[in-house]
Structure 1
Amino acid sequence: MMKLTELLGIEYPIFCGAMGGVSRPELVGAVSEAGGMGILATAGSKPEQVRADIRQIRELTDKPFGANVAIMTGNADALIDVMLEEGIKFFTTGAGDPLPYFDKIHAARAKVFPVVPSARVAKKMEDNGADGVVVEGMEAGGHIGTATTMTLTRQAAAIVTTIPVIAAGGIADGHGIVAAYALGAAGVQVGTAFVASIEAPIHDNYKQALVDANDTATVVSGSKTRGPMRMTKNAATVKHVELDEDPSVDLDALEAYTIPSLVRAARDGDTTNEIVTFGQIAGLITEVRPVKEIIETMFAEANDVIESLAAFRR
């Protein structure tokens, strides 16, 4: 199997998670410029906004970047058309079945890495022509599945053998990267660590909420409407739980509250009354740093960890 970096033309095997209200052009461009794969979040965006975002990213970097399509938002066809018109060659998908879009993406000689919650779905994606899969454990922020990153990554890597498996959820330093490698992953997807970056185009209050958080700062809501999501404990969480427990509220209605609230929190910095998301690994994030420093530090630490593990062979 070709190395992930060679397959995608990137320096480091790291993706920036497509975080609503956070993975905007400034962050995407910074991650790609630093050698990773920046991924534009498009959930809730209209096609022409996505077109403008892509063009803005191209002003920030000439290195590879991609875009995420949230299938359930209802305008996936229109968004993918715009992305392909603008020359996007790398896609991730989530929140729905991506299989109907594979032919269109591959016809444009682009690659698609669906984000999946189980080894079974990862295998299904491989069997149907995906170029790779991102297996995301429940430690992640935002929308999640029910499997942990450790169990999910290992089981997916054991049965998905012809395409890269990318581990996501609970990875924020070099130790996490090495753990992902040990479980069989070809690379990692990171979200929380990039929230606390200088280039993340979000309010300082949002970043500070992450820096101040610990490993018990989040809670999962949305399971009853089949849209579980990890978020910080605040007034918005109380409302989210109430909506989730209301039998008259379906997933679409819950998302109609969730997505705009996420965007407002990131934009306006109200971390008390709006939804704020980050992963359980938040306790490792103690400062806001440049993206380039975050990536280089993570991989330097990963190399140190690998060298230190050599002692176990003796």
Structure 2
Amino acid sequence: MVNRITELFKIKYPIIQAGMIWNSGWRLASAVSNEGGLGLLGAGSMYPEVLREHILKCQKATDKPFGVNVPMLYPDIDKIIDIIIEEGVKIVFTSAGNPKTYTSKLKENGITVVHVVSSVKFALKAQEAGVDAVVAEGFEAGGHNGREETTTFTLIPMVKEHLEIPLIAAGGIATGRGMLAAMVLGADGVQVGSRFVASDESSAHRAFKEEVVAAKEGDTHLTLKELAPVRMLKNKFFHSVVELYTTNPTKEDLINHLGRARAKKGMFEGDLEEGELEIGQIAGLIHDIKPAAQILKDIVEEFEIAKQEVSRL
């Protein structure tokens, strides 16, 4: 499978494992890369020196390309960028910020840069900033999301219409059929997050993984738009946020209610009641926890079967 994404990253399949906070450590990233996809470390939940440790372990665990996802709304970003450069990482995905901030510095150091966006407007801004590719992420995605509520299969053809650089689809993609559909609409590759949360190598707590597997249609919701919109499972904490909204809260009220380390409490420590359980709508299609390599194999196999089925239409 050769196209603009496989050539850009020097990988076998145009499948990227999303760099999700509290889920994407070196074990997951290296497992995906070893199987022919592109694994990403999630720097958003790592202190700078912790990220360095994960980079070094990932380099020992795979001789294939891997990258780091850097959400720019988190602290210590300058230190994180410096460590990425110092340790020779060759691929960086930036998100939640202005792509102009670090793209030039990264590219001057021989790093391929991809930026995550949720609209045509920001896709074009990323292209103008000089990134090598764009991830267009729809409203279905888990975790922090765009405010526009544009769904993936609406967003991809809209972005494709205006973009010249490679396009990666994200949000609601966990299967080979979803991958094929995204590529038919114009994507050169896909980024998969939620499906890899429910993998053996994900650094998420086992209780959270099991909650993802148990999720059904309608069990997630996007909220806290006044802060940073986030899609999460409907648990006790989520319902407390819903109740707070009935009081017409200020932004400060929401910040105080959210508190600190809420995502860590839920996804990493396994507090299913008071934690923030970030996951995408596609959780309703995730029915088991299995090795990351098998997940990637399943996606590729289903993609090829679906492609043959479509060719007979």
Shorter-chain TM-score bucket reads over 0.9
Shift of the 303–248 alpha-carbon distance from structure 1 to 2, 3 Å rule, reads: closer
Supply the AA of the counterpart residue of 1:93: T
Shift of the 77–122 alpha-carbon distance from structure 1 to 2, 3 Å rule, reads: same
1:240 deviates by 4.2
- % of aligned pairs identical? 38
In the alignment, is residue 155 of structure 1 matched against residue 158 of structure 2? yes
Gaps of 5+ in 2: none
1:215 deviates by 1.7
Q: In 2, distance between residues paired with 1:39 and 1:19?
A: 8
- After superposition, the C-alpha distances for 1:94-141 in whole angstroms (9 at most, x for unaligned) are 111121211100110101110001012111211221100000001010
Partner of 1:202: 204
Q: In 2, distance between residues paired with 1:255 and 1:117?
A: 26
Q: In 2, distance between residues paired with 1:202 and 1:233?
A: 18
Shift of the 254–291 alpha-carbon distance from structure 1 to 2, 3 Å rule, reads: farther
Shift of the 60–309 alpha-carbon distance from structure 1 to 2, 3 Å rule, reads: same
In the alignment, is residue 193 of structure 1 matched against residue 195 of structure 2? yes
Supply the AA of the counterpart residue of 1:194: F
How high is the TM-score relative to the length of structure 1?
A: 0.93
Supply the AA of the counterpart residue of 2:99: P
- After superposition, the C-alpha distances for 1:160-216 in whole angstroms (9 at most, x for unaligned) are 02x110000000101100111111000000011001111112222111101111121
- Contact kept, 8 Å, 2:136 with 2:169, in 1: the verdict is yes
How high is the TM-score relative to the length of structure 2?
A: 0.93
1:255 deviates by 10
Partner of 2:290: 289
Partner of 1:63: 64
Supply the AA of the counterpart residue of 1:79: I
- Contact kept, 8 Å, 2:94 with 2:113, in 1: the verdict is yes
Q: Which residues in structure 2 correspond to 1:1-314 (within 5 Å)?
A: 3-145=4-146, 146-161=149-164, 163-225=165-227, 227-241=228-242, 246-249=249-252, 253=255, 257=259, 260-312=261-313
- After superposition, the C-alpha distances for 1:237-279 in whole angstroms (9 at most, x for unaligned) are 134456775314288x479736x22222233222122111111
Q: In 1, distance between residues paired with 2:222 and 2:134?
A: 24
- Contact kept, 8 Å, 1:89 with 1:109, in 2: the verdict is yes
Gaps of 5+ in 1: none
- Contact kept, 8 Å, 2:226 with 2:251, in 1: the verdict is no
Q: In 2, distance between residues paired with 1:156 and 1:83?
A: 29
Q: In 2, distance between residues paired with 1:220 and 1:37?
A: 27
- After superposition, the C-alpha distances for 1:132-153 in whole angstroms (9 at most, x for unaligned) are 0000001010011121101111
Count of matched residue pairs: 308
RMSD: 1.9
Shift of the 254–279 alpha-carbon distance from structure 1 to 2, 3 Å rule, reads: farther
Supply the AA of the counterpart residue of 1:207: K
- Contact kept, 8 Å, 2:14 with 2:37, in 1: the verdict is yes
1:224 deviates by 2.7
- Secondary structure of 1:100's counterpart equals coil
Supply the AA of the counterpart residue of 1:150: F
Shift of the 44–308 alpha-carbon distance from structure 1 to 2, 3 Å rule, reads: closer
Q: In 2, distance between residues paired with 1:255 and 1:104?
A: 37
Supply the AA of the counterpart residue of 1:38: G
- Contact kept, 8 Å, 1:10 with 1:37, in 2: the verdict is yes
- Contact kept, 8 Å, 1:243 with 1:254, in 2: the verdict is no
- Contact kept, 8 Å, 2:17 with 2:191, in 1: the verdict is yes
Supply the AA of the counterpart residue of 2:60: E
Shift of the 130–238 alpha-carbon distance from structure 1 to 2, 3 Å rule, reads: same
Supply the AA of the counterpart residue of 2:22: G
